Structure 1
Amino acid sequence: MRAKNVRLVVIVWVMGWSSCTGRFVVEKNNLRVTSPESIRGVYECALGNFGVPQYGGSMSGAVVYPKANQKGCKNFDDFEISFRSRLAGLPTFVLVDRGDCYFTLKAWNAQRAGAATILVADNRPEQLITMDAPEDETSDADYLQNITIPSALVSRSLGSAIKTAIAHGEPVHISLDWREALPHPNDRVADELWTNSNDECGSKCDAQIQFLKRFKGAAQILEKGGYTRFTPHYITWFCPEAFLASRQCKSQCINGRYCAPDPEQDFSRGYNGKDVIIQNLRQACFFRVTNESGKPWLWWDYVTDFAIRCPMKEEKYNKKCADQVIQSLGVDVKKIDKCIGDIEANTENPVLKEEQDAQVGKGPRGDVTILPTIVINNRQYRGKLQRSAVLKALCSGFRETTEPPICLTEDIETNECLQNNGGCWEDKTTNITACRDTFRGRVCQCPIVQGVKFLGDGYTHCEASGALRCGINNGGCWKQTQMGKTYSACRDDHSKGCKCPPGFKGDGLKDCQDVNECEEKTACQCRGCKCKNTWGSYECSCSGSLLYIREHDICINKDARGDLSWGVIWIIIMGLGAAALGAYTVYKYRIRTYMDSEIRAIMAQYMPLDNHPNTQLSSQLEL
């Protein structure tokens, strides 16, 4: 019996070997030591795959290396050690040594003692690794889901340098920055979820199902809005060729090559790996079919509904139950079956073949070896599988100022524009501000309002520009109304700037003062004129029967003006008559003479004229 168990363990281990020998990439982050001077600089650290990394944010704190319990494997309360920050003090980053217990237990003990972050110093000179939660979780490990502080593994050399500085009484201050932990090239995020339909793998499966249920709403909002490009994936294993004919491989694989571990790790009862790989394939095909129909977000409804309606414990983990869920979502079951293909044929399945190819790391991503794994912009997410933590990581993948509204909610980030307008320019009259809240903080950027673009530095000055600028707060220019008259320093024919209108002087922005044309003698200076200043203009009158001509600043006699008009009319009439007479004269003496000569020439060809001798006719008669 013992030999049989050993053989089973070896087979399961070999089936998973293909994924373990791949290229695993440790997701790293920057750690900046700001003091003391002797170790100041930027160092690499490896993100832990538990807790809640502050993606898109940063955190600064003072490092403490405890005098007792330096590996953090026991409760710090037993040693009367507390890491809770003092009032107005920096958060505490506790440094512990690697070894003797799980990384997660060290983090949990540090968190309970009041630490804001835990740094684990490696105990060997090696490349940094990813700190993960233990696989052999037991019922007394409920604390794993309660770890909320970030964690990072630092090299042995950096850990020793920090310990030396603290031993010499030098305060060590560190800043952790997650703002560049994930690339954020544009306004759309590509995300993947590597998962499994198995629901009998213990607390990890339970946590995964709970995450799918809680994250579904946010994921569908992002997908429907076109903010994300989501793709689910499923890890498959190979069964070594030497064991293909074994009962174990046959019960764990389809198509003779695509396998999944037994859900209960017991080949004699319950469901087997073959059932899991078939359901994985069905979920992958469901996504493909709905993606082709333009509704990829239905995948979230299917996997959550299937987990609720078709659990293994109730023996409903089968095709019949799956088809009922598919039909309830309005998806054609026949299309799903066609995508699945023949699972008994000893041939490649195109869907699972693509899944195996995608599992191999490309570029900076590395191979997918941990389930579940979330990939954001081709980088593996590290941290707790929790709605707010994953959503925060997704939001950090957007280019700044392009984040969707869901990323700016209170439970995801703090709106820095609410306090003192973020220190940015603001027009309180129209409630227009240059402060723009983003996931990574605020930016001071002159806005675009109703098609009008504001120009400026965003901090102290923003000015409306363009043809429509005067329609918004008068372009920021001076404007005033008195006695039914309104004057403005904003001109629509100018793309920017303010200029006081004629009759006023000033900067055009805040002030335009009336110009007294009478005192400054810039108008109404003609002889006999009387000047009266008005707001924005002036009035000029002439004595007696004189009439004021504003364009020429002169006074003229009203009658003279009438005589002048009739004189002009008579001159026009006489001019027209002279023109007509001249035209007639030209016709009579020039044109008519020309026409007469032409007519006489034509007639001369057909009949003799009195002044031409008939020589030709006489000669003909003599003959």
Structure 2
Amino acid sequence: MSCWSCKRPREGLFLGFMFLLLLHKIESRFVVEKNSLRVTSPDKIKGTYDSAIGNFGIPQYGGSMAGTVYYPNDNRKGCKEFSDYSISFGRKPGALPTFVLLDRGECYFAWKVWNAQKAGAAAVLVADDVDEALITMDTPKEDDSSASYIENITIPSALIEKSFGETLKKAIDGNDMINVNLDWREAVPHPDDRVEYELWTTSNDECGVKCDMLMGFIKDFKGAAQILEKGGYTQFTPHYITWYCPHAFTTSKQCTSQCINHGRYCAPDPEQDFSRGYEGKDVVLENLRQLCVFRVANEIKRPWVWWDYVTDFQIRCPMKEKKYNKECAHEVIRSLGLDVKKIEKCMGDPSADADNPILKEEQEAQIGKGARGDVTILPTLVVNNHQYRGKLEKGAVTKAICSGFEETTEPAVCLTDDIETNECMDNNGGCWQDKVANITACKDTFRGRVCECPLVNGVQFKGDGYSSCKASGIGRCKINNGGCWHEARDGQTITACVDFDDNCKCPLGFKGDGVKSCEDIDECKEKKACQCPECSCKNTWGSYNCTCSGDLLYIRDHDTCISKKAAEAKSAWTALWVVLIGLAVAAGGAYLVYKYRLRSYMDSEIRAIMAQYMPLDSQSEVPNHVSEDRA
């Protein structure tokens, strides 16, 4: 299945029509990739037979696998889960792995293999139900439901001819134990000590599950691909499929929105809607740009930079964020140290009514040559001119490429698991860096480098990690002045950084953006200070000095000059008034204390005198001590 098949019926018919016209011009040929299936017992059917490698799961390229064939009594087409029949194909101690034989029909090939894998099968053989030449078992149209199991198929599978399938079934019915060997060692030619491989891909990241899987593979495989390329072990070439619009339709809305160069090179609309969003010609232009990135990088002996560009473009310029455009692409190109003008020149004029040499080569390359066959499926990996079958997965593809080396010439990376490298060592991975402070946003991981603003001494940098990172928060000014302007003169350092503000602002007495520059303001020239008639102004760095003529004294707060004697007299009177005010305050305080104490004394004296003549409310009645005589 192609990424191009994820579209509405009207668009599918239109593009299908274009492709049929292409096939009318050139005979199409799809090559079925085969591996060897050798029966080792019983003797009566011993021999080597052809089988077609399934286009899903993980074939063991460069290796072989031995097992015992099992043909179930129930669910022989494998369209239901084998657990429903209490069947398990799990390997027992000391026994060979189980190769499950299933019949074709009723459900998808991939669904059969998935059910067998869940029951413990090591591999699956599917017997054809008609007498015909072998075909490639492909995946169904991938949506969210099918992708959930197709992505997780890890066992190999193969289609066998109907007659061979019947031979195996007959032997099993006769209680013969059938041992077979699936062999992929010759599935990829290995003529010399260099492997040539190509990947047919697309820059469209909104074509569904298939494109998500493709983008994930490119990101994961990048490190291994670059190691092999830098060591001279491989020669890689990227390719992109384009279609052409029939001449009668070049002025139609469909062609003008999906094609460039007057209908010569087209791609489907990403949203399958001609009235909104991105258009097919946007995809064609970015595909062309990626081809030119590869060519320009190859000219400077750095062809592996293509992997960096494609992964960075996917991260920084996705369609879903509306960043899939020329401007974003140029930012990525510059970050990788490539010449934007050379790449634009390579792309040519997309509006010209003429062939584009690069895209014309791509269309011609789609047609099969030699043993390869036509490329009609996206994505397609071709190794030594043979199409790879199976899941695009880092380990599986590495095995397939390594199987393409002549024996004993394999590089060390093929013989060990050490396929990792520090991608930050080359051009800092294309990430942001501060060479002065020796800080970088590049982080090397198992799945490749990422550009992520760092945390340094408790200070978090913020930004996209590619073109910018700025220190943020408290303490940011201690790290390279927070990325702000700063300058030192005569032992004095002035900076545009302040901890409580993440922005860079020129300090008082300076003007500028605060990042690249802050220029001294000439307060004298701009008439911002020292404007009194008797004043004489002299500009200084970040400030100014103002002096007055004669015996006058400059008062900065009022921007004026006054007589020094007047200033001295003013100071004397000020001191006198301070003394007088102090004495007045002290006298006032003493008077208040005197009045308070005098009043308290008088109140006590009056109360004592009055108490002699009458009881006061605050005193108890005086008791009578005179006794009375009685008779």
- TM-score exceeds 0.5: yes
Task: Tell whether 2:277 aligns with 1:270.
Answer: yes
Letter in 2 for 1:125: D
Post-superposition offset of 1:241: 2.2
For 1:116 and 1:264, locate their aligned partners in 2 and report how far apart those are by CA, in whole Å. 40
Structure 1 residue 268, shift from structure 2 partner: 2.1
User: Residues of 2 paired with 1:132 and 1:7: CA distance?
Assistant: 24
Structure 1 residue aligned with 2:135: 129
**Quick one: distance in 2 between partners of 1:22 and 1:278?**
26
The alignment covers a number of residue pairs equal to 408
1:346 to 346, 349, 353: 353
Question: Which whole-Å deviations, capped at 9, do the CAs of 1:535-590 have from their partners, x for residues lacking one?
Answer: xxxxxxxxxxxxxxxxxxxxxxxxxxxxxxxxxxxxxxxxxxxxxxxxxxxxxxxx
Instruction: Assess if the C-alpha contact under 8 Å between 1:388 and 1:411 holds in 2.
Output: no
CA positional deviation for 1:311 = 0.3
User: Deviation digits for residues 213-261 of structure 1, max 9, x if unmatched?
Assistant: 1100000000000000110000111112232221001111100210111
Cα displacement string for residues 450-490 of structure 1 (whole angstroms, at most 9, x for unaligned residues): xxxxxxxxxxxxxxxxxxxxxxxxxxxxxxxxxxxxxxxxx
User: Is contact 2:317–2:323 with CA below 8 Å preserved after alignment?
Assistant: yes
CA–CA distance in structure 1, aligned partners of residues 343 and 119 of structure 2 = 52
Contact 2:147–2:209 (Cα < 8 Å) also in 1: no
- In the TM superposition, 1:174-323 aligns within 5 A as 174-256=180-262, 257-323=264-330
In structure 2, stretches of 5+ residues that fail to align are: 1-7, 420-631
Query: Structure 1, unaligned stretches of length 5 or more?
Result: 413-623
Q: Aligned partners of 1:149 and 1:110: how far apart in 2?
A: 9
CA contact (8 A) 1:96 1:119 kept: yes
SS at match of 2:50: strand
Change (3 A) 1:85 1:197: same
Cα pair 2:238 2:291 within 8 Å, conserved: yes
CA-CA distance at 1:8 after TM superposition: 3.9
Once the two structures are TM-superposed, the CA of residue 34 in structure 1 deviates from its matched residue by: 1.4
In angstroms, what is the RMSD of aligned CA positions? Answer: 1.4
The answer on whether the counterparts of 1:182 and 1:376 sit within 8 Å (CA) in structure 2 is yes
The SS at the match of 2:144 is: coil
CA-CA distance at 1:19 after TM superposition: 6.5
1:390 aligned onto 2:393: no
State the identity %.
66
* Whole-angstrom CA distance in 1 between matches of 2:150 and 2:142: 12
| Pair 1:12 & 2:15 matched | yes
Code of the residue aligned with 2:328 in structure 1: it is C
1:402-455, Cα deviation, whole Å (9 max, x unpaired): 11111111489xxxxxxxxxxxxxxxxxxxxxxxxxxxxxxxxxxxxxxxxxxx
Counterpart residue identity of residue 339, structure 1 = C
Question: In structure 2, do the counterparts of structure 1 residues 8 and 376 end up closer, same or farther at CA, with 3 Å as the change threshold?
Answer: closer
Query: Which residue in the other structure is 1:159 paired with?
Result: 165
Q: State the one-letter code of the partner of 1:349.
A: N
Give me the whole-angstrom Cα distance separating, in 2, the residues matched to 1:82 and 1:380. 34
Superposed, 1:213-612 pairs within 5 Å as 213-256=219-262, 257-410=264-417
Separation in structure 1 between the aligned mates of residue 10 and residue 100 of structure 2, nearest angstrom: 45
Judge conservation of contact 1:14–1:239 (CA < 8 Å) in 2.
no
Structure 1 runs of 4+ aligned residues shifted over 6 Å read none
Provide the rounded CA distance (Å) in 1 between the counterparts of 2:310 and 2:367: 24
Cα pair 2:35 2:183 within 8 Å, conserved: yes
What letter is aligned with 2:67?
Answer: G
Contact 2:66–2:97 (Cα < 8 Å) also in 1: yes
Q: Distance in 2 between matches of 1:18 and 1:227?
A: 39
Cα contact 1:18–1:237 (8 A) shared by 2: no
For 2:48, the equivalent position in structure 1 comes to 42
- Match of 2:175? 169
* Alignment partner of 2:67 out of 61, 70, 76: 61
Instruction: Compute the displacement of 1:150 (Å).
Output: 0.3
Q: Which amino acid aligns with 1:17?
A: L
Query: Is 1:94 matched with 2:100?
Result: yes
Aligned twin of 1:74: 80
**Contact 2:188–2:383 under 8 Å retained in 1:** yes
| 1:564 corresponds to | none
Decide whether aligned partners of structure 1 residues 77 and 18 sit closer, same or farther in structure 2, where only a CA change above 3 A counts: farther
> 2:147 & 2:304 partners in 1: Cα distance?
34
What is the SS of the residue equivalent to 1:34? strand
C-alpha distance in structure 2 between counterparts of 1:352 and 1:140, whole Å: 33
Measured in 1, the distance between the counterparts of 2:141 and 2:286 equals 23
Farther-moved stretch of structure 1 (20-29 vs 191-200):
20-29
Alignment pair present for 1:116 and 2:119:
no
Is the 2:103–2:128 Cα contact (8 Å) retained in structure 1?
Answer: yes
Distance 1:332 1:6 in 2: 41
Distance 1:77 1:18 in 2: 48
| Change beyond 3 A, Cα 1:19–1:93 | farther
TM-score between both structures, scaled by the size of structure 2: 0.63
How far apart are 1:391 and its partner, in Å?
0.3
User: 1:147 corresponds to which letter in structure 2?
Assistant: I
- Residue aligning to 2:423: none
Paired residue type of 2:90? R
The verdict on how the C-alpha distance between 1:389 and 1:123 changes in structure 2, with shifts beyond 3 A counting, is same
Cα separation, 2, equivalents of 1:219 and 1:6: 38
Specify the code of the residue in structure 1 equivalent to 2:175: G
CA distance in 2, matches of 1:210, 1:261: 22
